[in-house]
Structure 1
């Protein structure tokens, strides 16, 4: 096995030299140290994600209020920034109204998700491949600009009290330029340009997830207090515009290019760009991984997305209503605790596991925490149980970045943007489909058992555990076979 380990390390060593040569060329051009270049890219996605989540928390609660006022204008049970329209007595008219509003809000969330994600898929498939040909910096700008437009229009809509259905168009505008997933795609490419493959890159990806967790912690906590202090939703939405606008300014005026001209692919047509995003799932794409491994990793990524990405919207509805009846501040603090556990737990998991196991086992453990957390959340009837679920949630977001790291390790350096574009498009689909399914299941089961949708999410993670085990076994066999072939060829060469 020692020889096998030696073989596994030989390929990264060659790629390390390429990464160092690329970094030296980049440094001469920009005069930016690598740590600062990486930091700037992470800061941009940090600001974009803060803005995205702040908008998400604000609009989830604003849409609930807007539908209440639109559907039951004469009801005495009103919600605002400081109060929650929540009735715990199931026999009252107000409780029945509450069920209707939950359904309407859930359906509105479905339409917003579709409007944002369907055009976003097409856009994102292309920017990854295009960035392999034109460089990364240019393609940071479009998704940031789209979010500035969407959040700005939401501000106008809240201020003037537009019909809540009009906001769906605003989400569609953002989708045409990508969203935070597109920015994440570019940051992953940015990191891959500037880091060595293997554990060093996985660690940076883990740190990125931790930074994203901090962004989510800030936006979650901040949103509740902003809504409470202003007793409304307009100024919190203005704040979300400020964050993403700052990220746009950094991307345009400060962020250096990470991909030097000598490392870029040839320019190809629109259709060929789309083809490049899927080439890793074809035979003979890379000598470092079989076709089935890339396909299996794709399904692992999808299942992780289904288990985690659709939770925020339905969790907010779950907490707004009986038996919890939480206000905006309590929802914000809970989200902060959960996300804090994700960011801290994820970084600790990745760093600790790297001492004894490889990336594949980290992905497996992430699924295990997803199963336990979703089941406890679905069974929750008290605040304490919800907080326990948040603590148990500590590792359920590590799987997606770890899958990216594994795929980048198996991918030739000049094709990473294309591979990540395909993964980002799948993330769009996961974000859309998981939200649709979570909202649809919640809509169908809210009167029977509200926590059922979280059991469905746990089921996705169970299937993911099985696929991770398949990948671990297959990866070991592939490495052993490759090592034996390499040893045989070396021995034959020496004998000759």
Structure 2
């Protein structure tokens, strides 16, 4: 018979005695709540991410006197050919220009997202969601105007700045997860988090497939106009009370000056990790680091897999690139749904996390040794469970904190994953560029497979803490039972 400590949850749920308001009860009975907002925002975010690179690449190519729309990767070009050198220069400058735009938004939302998400614990979720969606909407409008009227690309920094100051995708996801935490019980929370992550991958994967064809046939104006209109509808959905119900209300006592509010929020972010009861602070840090390394590996892996596929011997076209990206994200959706529903029925969190890491390592090994395109797609299928780590980590952390800490903990998770998502392409891209001539890019995927040792080690530490905590509780119960008869004799 197995030790009950082996099947204990990673972290005990924090029980609260607060009663749900009537609004939260009404919202909890709805199957569809925040999903339309996050789906629309993710479609728009994915569209910006895809078309931004293509548009900047076209502008850089035209600055060199090359037709940017017809510039395609050459599979077996002679590296001494001047055209090859020109293409490399275009790729380099495009990478730098896109990086500057990403930096503008990424650095700002790393600071704005946790403050605004924490604010939602006190002032409500809808206002923060509206602000984040509005920032993405403004950025879409800027891209629409610049691409339609061929304005200076430097105007794009305006939209990226607004999107960064309003929290961007980090705040959308954090506020959405906090909203779900408000209206679900702890037993049902993991499933709803899985739905959120499935929506994320499905929305971005859908945009990857469609946008390439639309831009090729109709230009940049239609996709940006479409997502701008969709975001306008999403903003209306947030505002109208019958559509989205507010789950947290701000009392007059909680309505304070912004400077005081900001101070309170920053203190709450710092104090979150100071709770040592049950080793909560250690476990929260370990879970956060697991999420960091998972995002670090996955985000950059798609980019370098595309680079691998565009070279010899695969020689992918832009259509194949889009299909591969979509298949990778859709298999992650399938893994999230199937694994997220079935695995929790028979396994505890730490065993699910182990399986996710092994799925990740196997996927990267298969990709590294792949001799054909078919093997690359097989590698994507094998890694279908690697993204399940995210909702599992968030669910455990959500159950470990108080209701008024939900926004803070999701903001911290979002910031850590955002840093990992931004640094991953830089780290793996540099490794790929340095080794592509000698190892054909495969070494990058062997590196990714090896990195899985780190989260596996962190999960093992969590496992040990859980076992020791359970054993200590059993000893305390046994000791108290043995002392009771003595007390009666006395």
Conserved in 2, the CA contact under 8 Å of 1:143 and 1:183?
yes
Per-residue deviation at 1:446? 5.0
Conserved in 1, the CA contact under 8 Å of 2:328 and 2:380?
yes
Per-residue deviation at 1:243? 3.0
1:201 aligns with 2:189: yes
Structure 2: distance between partners of 1:346 and 1:366? 10
In structure 2, the CA distance between the partners of 1:164 and 1:315, relative to structure 1 (3 Å rule), is farther
- Of the structure 1 ranges 486-495 and 46-55, higher mean CA displacement relative to structure 2 is found in 486-495
Instruction: Render the CA deviation track for 1:10-30: whole Å, top value 9, x for unaligned.
Output: 975955x75xx4165633xxx
Structure 2 partner of 1:26: 24
1:402 aligns with 2:383: no
In structure 2, the CA distance between the partners of 1:476 and 1:313, relative to structure 1 (3 Å rule), is same
Per-residue deviation at 1:344? 0.8
Instruction: Render the CA deviation track for 1:164-223: whole Å, top value 9, x for unaligned.
Output: 4553453233111111121000011011111111x4211111122122222123212211
In structure 2, the CA distance between the partners of 1:83 and 1:366, relative to structure 1 (3 Å rule), is same
Conserved in 1, the CA contact under 8 Å of 2:5 and 2:467?
no
Instruction: Render the CA deviation track for 1:19-53: whole Å, top value 9, x for unaligned.
Output: xx4165633xxxx45242x6221221111011111
Give the alignment of 1:216-295 within 5 angstroms.
216-230=204-218, 232-253=219-240, 254-260=243-249, 269-284=261-276, 287=277, 289-295=279-285
Give the alignment of 1:339-488 within 5 angstroms.
339-380=329-370, 382-445=372-435, 447-448=437-438, 449-485=440-476, 488=479
Structure 2 partner of 1:188: 177
Per-residue deviation at 1:306? 0.8
In structure 2, the CA distance between the partners of 1:461 and 1:23, relative to structure 1 (3 Å rule), is farther
Normalised to the residue count of structure 2, the TM-score between the two structures is 0.87
1:100 aligns with 2:93: no
Instruction: Render the CA deviation track for 1:230-268: whole Å, top value 9, x for unaligned.
Output: 2x3332232232333332221222321112558x98965
Structure 1 partner of 2:51: 58
Structure 2: distance between partners of 1:280 and 1:475? 20
Structure 2: distance between partners of 1:355 and 1:300? 22
- Of the structure 1 ranges 339-348 and 159-168, higher mean CA displacement relative to structure 2 is found in 159-168
Conserved in 1, the CA contact under 8 Å of 2:194 and 2:336?
yes
In structure 2, the CA distance between the partners of 1:460 and 1:152, relative to structure 1 (3 Å rule), is farther
Give the alignment of 1:115-126 within 5 angstroms.
115-126=104-115
Q: Which runs of 5+ in 1 are unaligned?
A: none
Structure 1 partner of 2:150: 161
Per-residue deviation at 1:2? 8.5
Structure 1: distance between partners of 2:313 and 2:417? 33
Conserved in 1, the CA contact under 8 Å of 2:126 and 2:238?
yes
Structure 2: distance between partners of 1:334 and 1:139? 35
Structure 2: distance between partners of 1:2 and 1:87? 56
Structure 2: distance between partners of 1:126 and 1:402? 24
Per-residue deviation at 1:347? 1.6
SS at match of 1:259: coil
1:86 aligns with 2:74: yes
In structure 2, the CA distance between the partners of 1:204 and 1:389, relative to structure 1 (3 Å rule), is same
Conserved in 2, the CA contact under 8 Å of 1:221 and 1:332?
yes
Structure 1: distance between partners of 2:40 and 2:199? 10
Structure 2 partner of 1:329: 319
Aligned residues: 478
Structure 1 partner of 2:127: 138
Structure 2: distance between partners of 1:8 and 1:301? 18
In structure 2, the CA distance between the partners of 1:6 and 1:219, relative to structure 1 (3 Å rule), is closer
In structure 2, the CA distance between the partners of 1:99 and 1:445, relative to structure 1 (3 Å rule), is farther
In structure 2, the CA distance between the partners of 1:272 and 1:390, relative to structure 1 (3 Å rule), is same
1:300 aligns with 2:290: yes
Conserved in 2, the CA contact under 8 Å of 1:88 and 1:95?
no
Structure 2: distance between partners of 1:265 and 1:8? 35
In structure 2, the CA distance between the partners of 1:367 and 1:98, relative to structure 1 (3 Å rule), is farther
Structure 2: distance between partners of 1:438 and 1:3? 41
SS at match of 1:22: coil
Structure 1: distance between partners of 2:4 and 2:388? 30
Q: Which runs of 5+ in 2 are unaligned?
A: none
In structure 2, the CA distance between the partners of 1:411 and 1:10, relative to structure 1 (3 Å rule), is closer
In structure 2, the CA distance between the partners of 1:176 and 1:318, relative to structure 1 (3 Å rule), is farther
Structure 1: distance between partners of 2:109 and 2:51? 22
SS at match of 1:48: helix
